[in-house]
Amino acid sequence: MSIKFVSPVAKTFCESLLPNQKIGMHWFKDKKNFEKKVYEKMALLSDFDHFYKNLTLEGPVGIKPVTMTSNPAGLSFLQFIIRQKKVKNVLEVGTFLGVSAMFLAESVKKNKGRVVTIEIGQEFVNYAQKNFKRNGHRNIDVLHGDAKEIIKGLPIKDFQFLFIDGDKTHYLEIFLLLEKRVSKDCIIVFDDVIFNGDIFNDTPNTKHGLGVKNFLAYLKKNDGWIKTLMPISNGMLLLEKKA
């Protein structure tokens, strides 16, 4: 079976996109442990693993914290951007246990900044507030309710960084509420935009995959934004308004 690429450039660089493809592990004999070695090296050179392991978390019985948060390496990548941009105020949609909020809060601490995070589930609001307190993060405010309604009443231009990781079925609705109100230097990050490959199906198998697919289709026709899709974990989409 042959694969048709959108352009010669795509064909040239496709195999170089991910480190676990043939060209990326050409000289390493132990192919089965390649990804493990990559992660170990990332953890050694970064501090995300240390930060994550030192968090004391409480959550629903039977649910592992790792399933209720974004990839720590991806969050560390966002921390780097926030520090470089000297971001002060961050808005997050989708709190869950509060892990990503704590990563973001740590990165704005130097600038005496704050994180506002929105969560629709009261149970997770309670868990997150407990986790913020026990881990010493006092620069996080949790808002309980539907993000689509709460966003309408927030001073969006006061936020320099937005991290959207809530219900994927509403990604397009949330973006439409934000696109004309964010400041020109604001960065918006949508998490899980590959959604386990469901977006590549002609008809997605899940309502979340369909929600992301519709959102990406809208963005494709929108020329007002700089768009960068990073193949980190389940896909991180970075957006910034064009000048």
Q: Which CATH architecture has domain 55-241?
A: 3-Layer(aba) Sandwich (3.40)
Rounded to the nearest integer, the mean pLDDT of the chain is: 93
- Cβ atoms of 107 and 100 closer than 8 Å: no
Structure confidence at residue 2 (pLDDT): 57
Rounded Cα distance between 94 and 165, Å, is 5
Rounded Cα distance between 131 and 56, Å, is 7
Locus of tokens 């704050």: 114
Structure confidence at residue 101 (pLDDT): 98
Q: Report how far apart, in Å, the C-alpha atoms of 139 and of each of 84, 130, 144, 188, 241 are.
A: 19, 14, 17, 20, 27
User: How large a percentage of the chain has pLDDT more than 90?
Assistant: 78
Structure confidence at residue 18 (pLDDT): 87
- 26-53 pLDDT, tens digit each: 999 999 999 999 999 998 898 888 888 8
pLDDT < 50: residue spans in the chain: 1
- Cβ atoms of 129 and 142 closer than 8 Å: yes
Structure confidence at residue 66 (pLDDT): 75
Rounded Cα distance between 177 and 104, Å, is 22
Rg (CA), the chain: 19
- 213-227 pLDDT, tens digit each: 999 999 999 999 999
Rounded Cα distance between 240 and 188, Å, is 7
Structure confidence at residue 6 (pLDDT): 62
